[in-house]
């Protein structure tokens, strides 16, 4: 039996980052992964492949819809080769996961391929597909087993026509009509991919707005853009049935007035959230407790009820985001090493990679109102920027919410081109507890999309945006 300082179960962004940081801190580290490739949901069937398809479909859309405006004429037809597009996505995934193999070797991390399951509080049995078993013993264990797609109790996922994001990343044809259950981040990102490629897309959302956990201004603006692109959005609709009939899928829902609505499509993507994954871990053998939502329970140090066993990422409470899992991986490694790390969960940014992109950090207007905080708002439209006109990316705005008394920035909400990258400025500013005036007095390169942040800060400070 091999003995380690730390054994990590699951090699997603939480697990592999924890492994690297543990190794950097001098710990003898084991990483256990049940799949053949490292990287978990994010690298294999999540962040990376979805962004690869968003990028490819964006190129196609620009070619057929926008090149002409730029004086670029296509002499001949422009066709989608979906097989090639999906193959390119896979090669991006393969390069990225191969990069992890390199990082594990470089950091002298021992990788065990097989299902990890607790034998006792210090021993994990690793079972390979061929039945061979190994045991790993460790002084500390980090559970990083991630999450799986959620479903509604009355939907039978056949993974051919009634599918999750995993299948939507490898379809063999462009759907004629893709019905999307859930207007959250997966539904909108993958809905936009197939809409750009020519599918009719209808998003059915239970709440009264899409991306309902983000600031309502962002929901409204994104819905406007989606409607312009002919994606149909049905909010306040309660799905009651999804059935497959040969090559068709029939969805029934009840609208706000109680009327039954029926949709017929050829694919139905179910994207109603994800649930923590602990199957096969045998948590009972180590006496590890879960909460009422099936998540591994942890304290502020991310320790489970067994003090040398930690848990991070999607399998515990909090946002199901790769960068949140990564921060927690580093946090636990440093905690085990005796350091005193810190994570400010309020400053974990949230991004939707549609175009325009949507990105936010800190509090929404809804949250500030609910908490009774008095705040000022500075908003600046992207269309007023020279950079936006040059690239013809006119949709969206930056909204900064600042404390009415102290001017401290409490939330930044961006929808527009490159919002995913722009939000980093807001995170830095808020991490250093900047005021809106601090941001407004910093030079922002011209012409850039980032100027909208400066302008929104000016608007929040003294209602003195310069370019509107
Ligand atoms: P995971 O990445 O889920 O990794 C867990 C790993 O543990 C898996 O490899 C699994 O096989 C392994 N495992 C489980 N049980 C065992 C066991 N018993 N033994 C051994 N191994 C085991 N987040 C973002 O921040 N940005 C994005 O753009 C983004 N896009 C996404 C797009 C899609 C379509 C999806 C589905 C998700 C996306 N996410 C995104 C969410 C992101 O993928 C997750 O938040 C992130 O992967 C969580 O990391 P994790 O390490 O906690 O778990
Ligand atoms: P989500 O929580 O973002 O959205 C689910 C949506 O489904 C919500 O709007 C919810 O109101 C709706 N819904 C729930 N039950 C419904 C019902 N019965 N009928 C109709 N609508 C219903 O979840 P997701 O889009 O499945 O994504 C899962 C997780 O993956 C998210 O937590 C997200 O953090 C992560 N993810 C992140 C990114 C990113 O960071 N860009 C991309 C993809 C996924």
Centre of ligand 1 to C-alpha 383, Å, is 36
**What pLDDT sits at residue 66?**
95
From atom 41 of ligand 2, which residue's Cα is the shortest distance away? 352
Question: Are the folds of 162-272 and 347-460 the same?
Answer: no
Per-residue pLDDT reduced to its tens digit, 228-270: 998 999 999 999 999 999 999 999 999 999 999 999 999 999 9
Assign domain 162-272 to its CATH architecture.
3-Layer(bba) Sandwich (3.50)
DSSP 295: P
φ and ψ at residue 369, rounded to 5 degrees: -60, -45
DSSP H helical segments within 171-257, as ranges? 185-196, 216-228
The H-or-E segment that residue 293 falls in is none
Q: How far apart are CA 420 and CA 285, in angstroms?
A: 42
The helix/strand/coil state of 336 is: helix
Per-residue pLDDT reduced to its tens digit, 170-210: 999 999 999 999 999 999 999 999 999 999 999 999 999 99
Shortest-distance atom of ligand 2 to CA 187: 25
Give percent of the chain with pLDDT exceeding 90: 97
Domain ranges of the chain: 2-148+275-343, 162-272, 347-460
CB-based pocket (< 6 A), ligand 2: 152, 181-187, 189, 204-207, 212, 239, 271-274, 319-321, 351-353
DSSP 230: T
According to CATH, the superfamily of the domain at 347-460 is: FAD/NAD-linked reductase, C-terminal dimerisation domain (3.30.390.30)
Centre of ligand 1 to C-alpha 430, Å, is 27
From atom 43 of ligand 2, which residue's Cα is the shortest distance away? 186
Q: State the pLDDT confidence band at 345, using cuts at 50, 70 and 90.
A: very high
Per-residue pLDDT reduced to its tens digit, 261-318: 999 999 999 999 999 999 999 999 999 999 999 999 999 999 999 999 999 999 999 9
**What pLDDT sits at residue 465?**
82
In this model, does residue 464 exceed pLDDT 90? no
Residues designated as active site:
446
**What pLDDT sits at residue 301?**
98
Shortest-distance atom of ligand 2 to CA 271: 26
Q: State the pLDDT confidence band at 157, using cuts at 50, 70 and 90.
A: very high
What average pLDDT does the segment 60-65 reach?
A: 97
**What pLDDT sits at residue 468?**
80
What average pLDDT does the segment 310-328 reach?
A: 98
Per-residue pLDDT reduced to its tens digit, 100-126: 999 999 999 999 999 999 999 999 999
The H-or-E segment that residue 100 falls in is helix 82-106
Mean residue pLDDT of the chain comes to 97
Centre of ligand 1 to C-alpha 222, Å, is 26
Ligand 1, from 145, 163, 171, 274: best to mutate by most atoms within 8 Å of Cβ?
145
**Total number of residues shown for the chain:** 468
| Residue 132 or 468, more confident | 132
The CATH class, in words, for 2-148+275-343 is alpha beta
In this model, does residue 2 exceed pLDDT 80? no
């Amino acid at each position: 039996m091999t003995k380690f300082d730390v054994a990590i179960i699951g090699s997603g962004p939480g697990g592999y980052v924890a492994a690297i940081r543990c190794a950097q801190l001098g710990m003898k580290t084991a990483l256990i992964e049940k799949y053949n490739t490292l990287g978990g949901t994010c690298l294999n069937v999540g962040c990376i492949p979805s962004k690869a398809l968003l990028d490819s479909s964006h190129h196609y859309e620009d070619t057929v819809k926008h090149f002409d405006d730029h004086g670029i004429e296509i002499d001949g037809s422009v066709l989608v080769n979906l097989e090639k597009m999906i193959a390119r996505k896979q090669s991006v995934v393969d390069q990225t996961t191969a990069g992890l193999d390199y990082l594990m070797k470089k950091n002298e991390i021992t990788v065990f391929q097989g299902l990890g399951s607790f034998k006792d509080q210090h021993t994990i049995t690793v079972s390979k597909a061929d039945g061979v078993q190994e045991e790993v013993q460790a002084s500390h264990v980090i559970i990083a087993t991630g999450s799986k797609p959620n479903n509604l109790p009355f939907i039978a996922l056949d993974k051919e026509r009634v599918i999750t994001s995993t299948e939507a990343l490898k379809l063999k044809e462009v759907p004629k009509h893709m019905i999307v259950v859930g207007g959250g981040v997966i539904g909108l990102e993958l809905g936009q991919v197939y809409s750009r490629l020519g599918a009719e897309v209808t998003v059915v959302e239970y709440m009264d707005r899409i991306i309902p956990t983000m600031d309502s201004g962002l929901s409204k603006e994104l819905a406007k853009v989606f409607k312009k692109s002919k994606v149909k959005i049905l909010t306040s609709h309660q799905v009651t049935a999804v059935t497959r009939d040969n090559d068709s899928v029939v969805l029934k829902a009840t609208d706000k007035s109680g009327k039954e609505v029926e949709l017929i499509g050829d694919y139905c993507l179910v994207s109603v959230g994800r649930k923590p994954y602990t199957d096969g871990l045998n948590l009972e053998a180590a006496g590890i407790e879960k909460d009422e939502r099936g998540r591994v329970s942890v304290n502020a140090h991310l320790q489970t009820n067994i003090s040398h066993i930690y848990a991070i990422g999607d399998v515990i409470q909090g946002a199901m985001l790769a960068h949140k899992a990564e921060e927690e991986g580093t946090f636990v490694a440093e905690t085990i090493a005796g350091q005193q790390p810190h994570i400010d969960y309020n400053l974990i940014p949230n991004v939707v990679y549609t175009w325009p992109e949507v990105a936010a950090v800190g509090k929404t207007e809804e949250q500030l109102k609910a908490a009774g905080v008095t705040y000022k708002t500075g908003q600046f439209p992207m269309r007023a920027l020279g950079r936006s006109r040059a690239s013809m990316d006119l949709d969206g705005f930056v909204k900064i919410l600042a404390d009415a008394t102290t001017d401290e920035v409490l939330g930044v909400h961006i929808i527009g081109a490159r919002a995913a990258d722009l939000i980093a400025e807001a995170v830095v500013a808020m991490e250093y507890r900047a005021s809106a005036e601090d941001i407004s007095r910093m030079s922002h390169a011209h012409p850039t999309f980032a100027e909208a942040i400066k302008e929104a800060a000016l608007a929040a400070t003294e209602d003195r945006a310069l370019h509107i």
